[in-house]
Amino acid sequence: MNRDEQPVIGESPAFLEVMDQVSRAAALNRPVLIVGERGTGKELVAERLHFLSQRWDQPLVKLNCAAISEALLESELFGHEAGAFTDATQRRLGRFEIAHRGSLFLDELATTPLTVQEKILRIIEYGQFERLGSSRTISVDVRLIGAANVDLPELAEQGRFRADLLDRLAFDVITLPPLRARTEDILPLAEHFAMRMSRELGHELFAGFSRSVVEQLHQHAWPGNVRELKNVVERAVYRHDNPEAPVRRLVLDPFHSPWRPQGAGGAPNHPDLPDPGSKQLDLRAWLNEQEKTLVEQALAACQGHQARAAERLSLTYDQLRGILRKHNLSAR
Ligand SMILES: Nc1ncnc2c1ncn2[C@@H]1O[C@H](COP(=O)(O)OP(=O)(O)OP(=O)(O)O)[C@@H](O)[C@H]1O
Ligand SMILES: [Mg+2]
């Protein structure tokens, strides 16, 4: 195993199937697109694709396209000559050049402006581009691995993502299942993160989880997927004071507190109440509308997980289903 490589844990059929797909895709010299909810392991899979490919001993360069401003993105990707713009005092190589013969992982690709997408398309097609401030064409051999946690075909339909670039990238699309769709992976992952944390804390061993903690791990919906699980488990191990005894307490929401500040600065939690003293009001219609909005918000917060949304709203599952039917709301 390469020293940059993280162990990849998972034994559910859904996950193993994806890993098979990754191994097959790795061998081919084509662009790959990795999609999945936040925290599902897209970056980990990108690394695996690189290290299983023939390019494993060449650079793997990463760039999060959402983390830098549009203005800087082009120069980060394609580089610039000295004097290309005000702050460009020296020539700088872009990520495409640095990744020559290796792989370039472009994270959050959906956020790139259309002009940049056009240049990326040209690199995929012809392997060619120019540094900013230069007319000299440079050729590179780079395998592109893109990641997105939004629906790119939908963006393409709305004209916010180039359909031709999507076609080229979509030679193979690897979709990572959310953790709630592979519950068999929860415990192995949790044990892996717990053992790593125990080692880090200098404990001799990890004494496991109590039965109620295991149950809690299985019942939670994990909207933040593997990253959330990792944080929850690491926090539990770190707060646990007796390494000889199993971990008995999980804190699923670290912000939970009776003193938690409310609202997000004028968030729409308190819509202006209509005033029947000054204006006619249809009370039933208004209450109906509120009911619909709040149910939609709860479902969105629970990623469409109905049982959890019901819990949030202090309803039974059947009551929630009844309300969904009444408002013609579908599952998602
Ligand atoms: N199958 C797995 N085995 C071991 N660790 C994993 C696995 N999947 C994810 N992780 C770990 O979970 C964390 C989140 O993974 P990663 O950063 O790859 O997710 P992501 O999909 O890129 O998330 P985001 O969309 O938020 O960027 C990382 O610490 C990663 O090492
Ligand atoms: Mg990521």
CB 252 within 8 A of CB 216: yes
pLDDT at 118 over 90: yes
Amino acid occupying residue 14: A
Q: What is the distance between the alpha carbons of residues 325 and 332, in angstroms, rounded to a whole number?
A: 13
pLDDT at 179 over 50: yes
* Nearest alpha carbon to residue 149 among 128, 175, 124: 175
Residue 109 lies in domain: 13-177
Q: Are residues 21 and 60 in the same domain?
A: yes
Q: Are residues 104 and 227 in the same domain?
A: no
Which distant-in-sequence residues (6+ apart) come within 8 Å of 320 by Cβ?
Answer: 295, 306, 309, 310, 313
* C-beta 203 within 6 A of ligand 1: no
pLDDT at 1 over 80: no
* Least confident piece of the model among 29-43, 212-226, 287-301: 287-301
b/e 71-108 (16+ beta carbons within 10 angstroms → b)? eebbbbbbbbbeebeeebeeebebbbbebbebbbbbbb
Q: Are residues 100 and 164 in the same domain?
A: yes
What is the rounded average pLDDT of the residues 13-42? Answer: 96
User: Residue 267 — pLDDT band, cuts 50, 70, 90?
Assistant: very low
* C-beta 39 within 6 A of ligand 1: yes
* C-beta 43 within 6 A of ligand 1: yes
Residue 133 — left, alpha, or beta (φ > 0 → left; ψ -120 to 50 → alpha)? Answer: left
Q: Which two tokens stand for residue 45?
A: 């899979």
Share of the chain above pLDDT 90, in %: 67
* C-beta 41 within 6 A of ligand 1: yes
Which distant-in-sequence residues (6+ apart) come within 8 Å of 50 by Cβ?
Answer: 26, 56, 60, 102, 103, 105, 143, 145
Please give the distance, rounded to the nearest whole angstrom, from the Cα atom of residue 107 to the centre of ligand 2.
6
- Residue 91 sits at φ, ψ, to 5 deg, of -65, 145
Residue 83 covered by a domain = yes
Mutate which of 15, 149, 226 for ligand 1? The one with the most ligand atoms within 8 Å of its CB, which is: 226
Please give the distance, rounded to the nearest whole angstrom, from the Cα atom of residue 38 to the centre of ligand 1.
8
Around Cβ 19, how many Cβ atoms within 10 Å? Answer: 15
Q: Which atom of ligand 1 lies closest to the CA of 45?
A: 18
* Least confident piece of the model among 127-131, 191-195, 307-311: 307-311
| Model pLDDT for residues 158-172, shown as the tens digit of each residue | 999 999 999 999 889
pLDDT at 92 over 60: yes
What CATH number is associated with residue 228?
1.10.8.60
Q: Are residues 165 and 17 in the same domain?
A: yes
Mutate which of 227, 231, 303 for ligand 1? The one with the most ligand atoms within 8 Å of its CB, which is: 227
Q: What is the spatial order of strands in the sheet that 103-107 belongs to?
A: 60-64, 103-107, 143-148, 32-35, 172-175
CB 303 within 8 A of CB 221: yes
| Average confidence score pLDDT of the chain | 90
- According to the model, what pLDDT value does residue 279 have? 78
* C-beta 178 within 6 A of ligand 1: no
* C-beta 40 within 6 A of ligand 1: yes
Domain boundary among 129, 155, 177: 177
Q: Which atom of ligand 1 lies closest to the CA of 107?
A: 27
What is the rounded average pLDDT of the residues 190-194? Answer: 97
How do beta strands 137-139 and 128-130 pair? Answer: antiparallel
What is the rounded average pLDDT of the residues 108-137? Answer: 94
Please give the distance, rounded to the nearest whole angstrom, from the Cα atom of residue 35 to the centre of ligand 1.
12
CB 139 within 8 A of CB 128: yes
Residue 3 covered by a domain = no
Please give the distance, rounded to the nearest whole angstrom, from the Cα atom of residue 157 to the centre of ligand 1.
29
Residue 132 covered by a domain = yes
Please report which ligand is nearest the Cα atom of 234.
1
Q: Are residues 60 and 75 in the same domain?
A: yes
- Residue 160 sits at φ, ψ, to 5 deg, of -100, -5
Which distant-in-sequence residues (6+ apart) come within 8 Å of 205 by Cβ?
Answer: 198, 243
Please give the distance, rounded to the nearest whole angstrom, from the Cα atom of residue 148 to the centre of ligand 2.
9
Please give the distance, rounded to the nearest whole angstrom, from the Cα atom of residue 230 to the centre of ligand 1.
9
DSSP H or E segment with residue 322 = helix 317-326
* C-beta 8 within 6 A of ligand 1: yes
The number of domains in the chain is 3
* Nearest alpha carbon to residue 18 among 244, 182, 188: 182
- According to the model, what pLDDT value does residue 5 have? 56
* C-beta 62 within 6 A of ligand 1: no
Q: Are residues 52 and 132 in the same domain?
A: yes
Domain boundary among 130, 152, 177: 177
pLDDT at 330 over 80: no
Q: Which two tokens stand for residue 13?
A: 């059929």
- According to the model, what pLDDT value does residue 269 have? 46
Q: Are residues 160 and 198 in the same domain?
A: no
- According to the model, what pLDDT value does residue 265 have? 57
Residue 205 covered by a domain = yes
Q: Are residues 221 and 292 in the same domain?
A: no
* C-beta 94 within 6 A of ligand 1: no
Exposure of 279 by Cβ count < 10 A (0-12 exposed, 13-18 middle, 19+ buried)?
exposed
Domain boundary among 135, 158, 177: 177
Closest residue CA from atom 5 of ligand 1: 8
Please give the distance, rounded to the nearest whole angstrom, from the Cα atom of residue 123 to the centre of ligand 1.
28
pLDDT at 11 over 90: yes
In 62-151, which ranges are continuous DSSP H helix?
A: 70-78, 95-98, 114-126
R_g of the chain computed on alpha carbons? 24
CB 102 within 8 A of CB 55: yes
Exposure of 182 by Cβ count < 10 A (0-12 exposed, 13-18 middle, 19+ buried)?
buried
